[in-house]
Amino acid sequence: MVYKIIWKSFIMKLCTYFIVLFSMRIFAFSLSEKEHNNIYSYNRPLPKEITTTNLVFDPALKPFYHGVASGDPLQNQVILWSRITPDTDGPIEVKWFMSKDPKCTSILLSGSIITDQSKDYTIKIDAGPLEAGTVYYYKFSGLGRESVIGRTKTAPSKTMEALRFGIASCANYQQGYFNAYAAMSARNDLDAILFLGDYIYEYADGGYGYSKSVNRGHEPKNETVTLSDYRIRYSFYRLDPDLRRLHQLHPFIGIWDDHETANDSWPGGADNHNPLTEGDWQARKYAGEKAYFEWLPIREQSVQGKIYRTINYGGLCDIFMIDTRLEGRDKPLGAKDTTSSAVDTVLWNSPNRTILGKNQYEWLTQSLKSSKSQWKIIANQVMMMPLAGFTNLDSWDGYPAEREKLLRYLKNNSINNTLVVTGDIHCTWASDLPVTPRDTSYKPLTGEGSVACEFVTPSITSANINELQGIPPNTPQTKAIAGQLKFINPHIKEIDLDNHGYMILDLQSDKAQADWYFVDSTTTRNKGEYFYKGYYTQSGKNAIKAAVYNMPTLSGGPANPDELPLQIKESSSEHLLGIGNYPNPFINNTLIHYAVSKYAVLSLIVYDILGNEVLKGFMNVEHQPGPYVFELNALHLPSGTYSYKISSENQIITKSMNIVK
């Protein structure tokens, strides 16, 4: 979301309010971004507790370094995903296999697909026909080697006794370790992961969210603007072992939020996009969307850029994945290019103002009305609950008429059991949803008059309140802010502003419960987690209550995750990985994305088609373990086919590239 302008002012308002009430000190914070050159100067020492292989890449996974993934399960189909990294460019055939046994020995379904540079060598298969509600295992083979084995599960066709989803959002690599992903991976009782956006962040290395103590920077070093940038950023995130592990073990059902393009994006622009220095917004938006569809296991839609869709889980739930960012959102009020700092209240309250867009609103309301499932889950980006006193114009609070219209639609059509699950705001909230915040028919003590419930998941790593203020978590200051907010917003039953983690949504026919799990730390890599609190709603009540216990782990889960190793037990002496160069073909400049898993002295040289050396990229440069992006300037080279070699003492990578002028 928001953090540069609205969230900052939101927090500052909170703090100011708090000062008045409690005479407390306000903590200044700075999010200024450092300037970086896009060169090979990635020289951060590795944190001591992380092994080189874990942090950078595992040579034994060659050529499927980015692991495997699955997503968008239907009753008879599921998306399977991987990425193959070739040593030389060109179309590559990849075979895929599905089985019901964890070792993938008895193959039930298989096929092959060709991938190439046009898809960034990603592989996506809509595999089927499959049996409903069934655990499957899958793997890929290509270039003479096999991938790790992944696990997935199709949606059920019948009404299940129970379903359980892991819910997550907001994973800024620069902010910390993805320990919450590791904790979710260790669970054996999830049907799928609902990912609510901010899977990547667009900021430059050392920019928003960068934590000195954690010392995990971004690649590429510049802010992502072009398709090449977004592809490298996804590739970089997907080398993270905790994220790879989560994808390997659970199907994903995802939506993007703003940071998959740029902060506070909407169809016509973004807070963090300057057309004068960063070019055409539509080109950037297209690049972000294309890379998302390449790198995430999402089913291709009939219309480019459309992600709103329904996933049915039999009679127990329908999941409506919505897009409040790029589909139809009107320009946010208070956007930085707005001439006046005063909010136009007429526009703000206009009945025509929309966050969904006309088509999506029609689809959502019709889908809710026609749903025959017990629970209707709206997987949503920005917070829907009204937040009195501190207006967040980036959320549904900036679009009050459409929120009221949607909630009144639920009431007028007697649509019960709608649960909104939300990310974006980096902390934990649980709320009743009355038709309007002023609705006198709503009784906060009993929940009577509420028409839906909202559960908000905290971030995986992205900064929450205490971090934005530079104070330790769980101090009396932030607890008091949360208490005050609840006091003036009686429909909001739970607020935690300090912790990172994920949410579990447990569905049964008579009850739905959200349980929050927080991780012990994001600054060191470990799997420690604890149950924080749970809130539940009973069928037909549309209002939440605090739970006494978390929902126990379900028995009868699929195979033990330990049966599916993340790493292939095969040693390899390779320590150099050439991930790709972007763009290719190119005119003058291309970004060469590579990695080393142990200290090496490297040279990069470009050769013409006859094998003559034509350009030195760099010579005998020391590299600490890490990922690198080197910008090659070939301004003086004519059109043609070239190759480049990255060489160390005992390994050479050769890749081709084309210059077209």
Interface positions with Fe ion (CB under 5 A): 170, 198, 462
What distances in angstroms separate CA 640 from CA 306, 553, 584, 586, one per listed residue?
37, 60, 12, 10
Angle subtended by helix axes 6-22 and 476-488, to nearest 10: 100
CA angle 339, 343, 344 (to 5 degrees): 90
Residue 256, both tokens: 């993007």
What ranges in 587-633 are assigned the alpha helix state H?
Answer: none
Return the number of the residue (138 or 236) whose C-beta is nearest Fe ion. 236
Minimum CB separation of residue 462 from Fe ion in Å reads 5
**Burial class of 27 by CB neighbour count within 10 A (0 to 12, 13 to 18, 19+):** middle
3-state secondary structure of 561: helix
Alpha carbon of residue 73 to chain centroid: 18
Minimum CB separation of residue 260 from Fe ion in Å reads 10
Minimum CB separation of residue 31 from Fe ion in Å reads 13
Minimum CB separation of residue 383 from Fe ion in Å reads 12
Return the number of the residue (82 or 499) whose C-beta is nearest Fe ion. 499
Minimum CB separation of residue 180 from Fe ion in Å reads 13
Which helix (H) or strand (E) element contains residue 330? none
Minimum CB separation of residue 1 from Fe ion in Å reads 6
Q: Report d(CA 251, CA 508) in Å as an integer.
A: 20
Return the number of the residue (271 or 439) whose C-beta is nearest Fe ion. 271
Q: Report d(CA 514, CA 532) in Å as an integer.
A: 11
Minimum CB separation of residue 470 from Fe ion in Å reads 19
Alpha carbon of residue 347 to chain centroid: 32
Minimum CB separation of residue 512 from Fe ion in Å reads 25
Torsion angle of C-alpha atoms 170, 512, 162, 502, degrees rounded to 10: 20
Minimum CB separation of residue 652 from Fe ion in Å reads 41
Minimum CB separation of residue 489 from Fe ion in Å reads 22
Return the number of the residue (461 or 537) whose C-beta is nearest Fe ion. 461
Q: Report d(CA 375, CA 657) in Å as an integer.
A: 52
3-state secondary structure of 57: coil
Do residues 129 and 76 lie in contact, with contact meaning Cβ atoms separated by under 8 Å?
yes
Return the number of the residue (170 or 505) whose C-beta is nearest Fe ion. 170
Minimum CB separation of residue 281 from Fe ion in Å reads 20
Strand 122-127, strand 192-195: pairing: unpaired
Torsion angle of C-alpha atoms 11, 403, 518, 461, degrees rounded to 10: -60
Return the number of the residue (201 or 313) whose C-beta is nearest Fe ion. 201
Query: How many other β-carbons are positioned within 10 Å of the β-carbon of residue 48?
Result: 6
Residues 6+ away with beta carbon under 8 Å from 230? 200, 224, 287, 288, 290, 291, 292
Only one residue has tokens 């029609």, namely 362
Only one residue has tokens 């059109």, namely 639
Strands (E) in 354-447, as ranges, are 375-380, 418-422, 428-433
Minimum CB separation of residue 259 from Fe ion in Å reads 6
Residue 299, both tokens: 């089913």
Alpha carbon of residue 639 to chain centroid: 39
Return the number of the residue (2 or 104) whose C-beta is nearest Fe ion. 2
Return the number of the residue (92 or 170) whose C-beta is nearest Fe ion. 170
Which helix (H) or strand (E) element contains residue 231? helix 227-237
Do residues 518 and 530 lie in contact, with contact meaning Cβ atoms separated by under 8 Å?
yes
Return the number of the residue (208 or 295) whose C-beta is nearest Fe ion. 208
Minimum CB separation of residue 186 from Fe ion in Å reads 24
Return the number of the residue (462 or 513) whose C-beta is nearest Fe ion. 462
Return the number of the residue (259 or 655) whose C-beta is nearest Fe ion. 259
DSSP per residue over 407-432, as a string? HHHHHHTT---EEEEE-SSSSEEEEE
80 φ, ψ (degrees, to nearest 5): -110, 145
Return the number of the residue (168 or 356) whose C-beta is nearest Fe ion. 168
Do residues 491 and 444 lie in contact, with contact meaning Cβ atoms separated by under 8 Å?
yes
Minimum CB separation of residue 19 from Fe ion in Å reads 27
DSSP per residue over 567-590, as a string? S-S------EEEEEEESSSBSSEE
Return the number of the residue (138 or 199) whose C-beta is nearest Fe ion. 199
Return the number of the residue (170 or 512) whose C-beta is nearest Fe ion. 170
